[in-house]
Amino acid sequence: MPDDQTHKPEVIIKGIPASPGIAIGPVFLFRKSAPTIREKSITAGEVPQEIARLEQAVARSHKELRKILDFALSKLGDDKAKIFEAQLMILEDSILFETVYKRVRNELKNAEFVVHDEIGKYHRMMLTSKDEYTRERAHDVEDVRNRILRNLQEEKLISRLEGSSVIISQNLTAADTLILSRNDVLGYATDIGGITSHTALLARALKIPAVVGARNVSHSVQHGERVIVDGYSGVVYINPSETTVRELEEKQRQFKLFEERLSELRDLPAETLDGHRVELSANMEFEKEIEFIRLQGADGIGLYRSEMLLIGKEVFPSEEEQAEQYRLIAESMYPKRVIIRTFDVGGDKIVADAVKENNPFLGWRGIRVMLDKPDLFLEQLRAILRSSTKKNVAVMFPMISSIKEVRAAKGYVEEAKKQLRAQNLPFDENIKVGIMVEVPAAAVLAEDLADEVDFLSIGTNDLIQYLLAVDRGNDVVSGLYQEFHPAVLRFLRRIIERGKKRDVWVGMCGEMAGDPMATLLLLGLGLDEFSVVPKVLPEIKKIIRSVKLREAKRIAKHALSLQTEDEVKAYLRSTMKERFPDIPLD
Ligand code: PEP
Ligand code: MG
């Protein structure tokens, strides 16, 4: 690398993590200019020659795509190769091309102009679709059109690279990504594209680190400059300092080691020996946790504590800021589900207004605050809805204690939808709505509440403090804060049974879900979803995968027959010690 470049300042650009891994190397700037098309008139005598030229360009495009399809089939398999089959189908669309030929003959215009205009109509139509998938597929149509145009103009595209490099481009089509991968490609980074873009899809399939949607990365680098593409966190470093390089190399090493250790478990479902599957998701507070959560093999995010966005802020983040943040999380986890909990302010968390309360935990908290602040609530709900276009976002309300509150909160969801419709902004019309069961009143009303929503998620952190009248943050009474108190166990059984009877799924996002000593018990009680601190995820999965549901049910039944917390703990501890001597319990 030339000396003067080592002194260039490091530039950091954030995008969306599209394919995991870290790539360090020189940039190959892949620039593909949009074809310039001129409208020209031709004479009737020139028509046969123009048609022949067009036929030739279509035939050459067909041959190229056929080759790409074969390569994709051999390297990626049927599933991923479908993209190219779809492009071939566009080329083979006889109705479309008959129109093109007819227009050349009737309008006496050059082939480039007619191809550009006619296929452009399809492209524009698809781009305005409300469906994100159709919009993404519009690029296929555009790609086919550009391929024909390139062949009409007899232009060649660079596809052979010298040495290993990190490809940086404004955008990469599926074909570009694949063809370039025949070289030694270390990583990809593009200005545009989402997690479902072809670059992302194919990079994952090819196991090449990639970051997409990195704004103007292609205008910020020069050919040959050194870059790092961090596909775990979605960050691109241009001219990284030596310290950054060392840090990222270390990260690469750590992640590799970690991945090797967990790789057996990571892609396996949280399923018992007799095939009973539960969902094992992660709780999330900060954006930077996403990469770790994904690495841990979470089935989704069962609780995103959105109020963490308020830390250190004087005012609530704007709808735009929130929408961007929620979208980033949803995209990074796609197609897995992300449950966004609306701001749970108050209690021991951030306060919305400077209110002084003697008993904040029993005061103005969670949904109570948001229902009193409709503007803030609607802003957040619109932001959440706007992030739901890929249909992998759900919304959840904290601190629900009555049916009235749920209905009011749902009313605001409908209002937010109405406002977005009026603005023509897309969202998931069928977004799932759930509540936290963390106030005893909600546990008592579980079945009625279940009729109002799509899911229940038990918040044991608060539920235990309210049920046992023990402040969750008070050292003096910490010995009385008992997860395995028989009243807690019976309450949990009640919520799970009643919720399920009304056909909603019941999960848990309180700390208890991530306590290895509680796993068999909760499984036996019929819990459908465990949302846990990311760190413990593999351990919990290991426990779930080594028991039969039948046994777990038996364990739960016995635990529920006991009278004191000591007895329950002693029983569960001995059961666990017997089965998992290497898992530390407290
Ligand atoms: C809970 O109360 O169990 C919960 C998950 O919510 P938080 O800890 O954020 O109050
Ligand atoms: Mg709570």
How sure is the predictor about 5, in pLDDT bands with cuts at 50, 70 and 90?
very low
Tracing tokens 């998620």 back to the chain, one arrives at 457
Q: What's the gap in Å between 344 CA and the centre of ligand 2?
A: 8
86 and 214 fall within a common domain: no
Same domain flag for 284 and 217: no
Whether 50 shows a pLDDT value over 60: the answer reads yes
Tell me, what's the pLDDT at 585? 67
The values of phi and psi at residue 585, to 5°, are: -120, 155
CA-closest residue to ligand 1 atom 7: 461
Does ligand 1 have an atom closer than 6 angstroms to the CB of 509? yes
Percent of the chain scoring above 70 in pLDDT: 94
Mean pLDDT of 454-461: 97
What CATH number does residue 132 fall under?
Answer: 1.10.274.10
DSSP at 281: E
> Among 216, 308, 163, 219, which Cα is nearest to 13's?
216
Element (H, E) at 519: helix 516-525
* CA distance linking residue 527 with residue 522, whole number of Å: 6
The finding on whether 438 has its CB within 6 A of some atom of ligand 1 is yes
C-alpha to C-alpha distance for 519 and 540, rounded to whole angstroms = 7
User: pLDDT at residue 3 above 60?
Assistant: no
CATH code (residue 185) = 3.50.30.10
Q: Cα(177)–Cα(541) distance, rounded to whole angstroms?
A: 35
Looking at the fold, whether 18 and 138 belong to one and the same domain comes out as: no
Mean pLDDT of the region 34-42: 86
Q: What is the pLDDT of residue 424?
A: 96
Using the predicted structure, report yes or no on whether residue 486 has a pLDDT greater than 50.
yes
Looking at the fold, whether 403 and 296 belong to one and the same domain comes out as yes
Query: Strand 432-437 to strand 300-305: parallel, antiparallel, or no bridges (unpaired)?
Result: unpaired
Q: What is the mean pLDDT of residues 306-326?
A: 89
Same domain, 371 and 493: yes
Residues 282 and 208 in one domain: no
For residue 566, how far is its CA from the centre of ligand 2 (angstroms)? 25
Of 195-204, 444-453, 528-537, the one with minimum mean pLDDT is: 195-204
Q: Is residue 291, in this structure, part of any structural domain at all?
A: yes
Strands 11-14 vs 235-238: parallel, antiparallel or unpaired: antiparallel
Claim to verify: residue 279 and residue 348 sit in the same structural domain: yes
Amino acid at 99: T
This prediction's pTM: 0.67
| Backbone phi, psi, residue 427, to 5° | -165, 170
Say if residue 490's pLDDT is above 50. yes
Cis peptide, bond prior to residue 335, ω within 30 of zero: yes
Q: Of all protein residues, whose CA lies closest to atom 3 belonging to ligand 1?
A: 459
What φ, ψ does residue 133 adopt, rounded to 5°?
-60, -45
Q: Would the pLDDT of 229 be above 90? A: yes
The residue ranking higher by pLDDT, 376 or 180, is 376
Q: Known catalytic residues? A: 198, 509
64-68, 146-150, 161-165, 308-312: least confident range: 308-312
Confidence band of 379 (pLDDT split at 50, 70, 90): very high
Distance from Cα 251 to the centre of ligand 2, integer Å: 34
Residue 101: its pLDDT value, please? 92
List the structure tokens of 390: 């890929």
Number of domains in the chain: 3
- Atom number in ligand 1 closest to CA 460: 3
Q: What is the CATH number of the domain that holds 445?
A: 3.20.20.60
Q: Sorting pLDDT into bands at 50, 70 and 90, what band is 361?
A: confident
Report if residue 479 sits inside a domain: yes
When mean pLDDT is compared across 33-42, 97-106, 437-446, 492-501, the lowest value belongs to 33-42
Residue predicted with more confidence, 123 or 385: 385
Among the atoms of ligand 1, which is closest to the Cα of residue 307? 9
Pocket-testing residue among 508, 509, 527, ligand 1, by greatest number of atoms within 8 A of Cβ: 509
Q: Taking a C-beta distance cutoff of 8 angstroms, is the pair 534, 511 a contact?
A: no
Assess whether 146 and 164 both reside in one domain.
no
Residue 6 counted as domain residue: no
Name the closest ligand to CA 400. 2
CA-509 nearest atom, ligand 1: 5
Asked if residue 344 and residue 306 are part of one domain, the reply reads yes
If you take atom 4 of ligand 1, which residue's CA is the nearest one?
Answer: 459
CA distances from 448 to 47, 403, 504, 518, 521 (A): 74, 8, 11, 27, 25
- In whole angstroms, give the CA distance from residue 399 to residue 496: 18
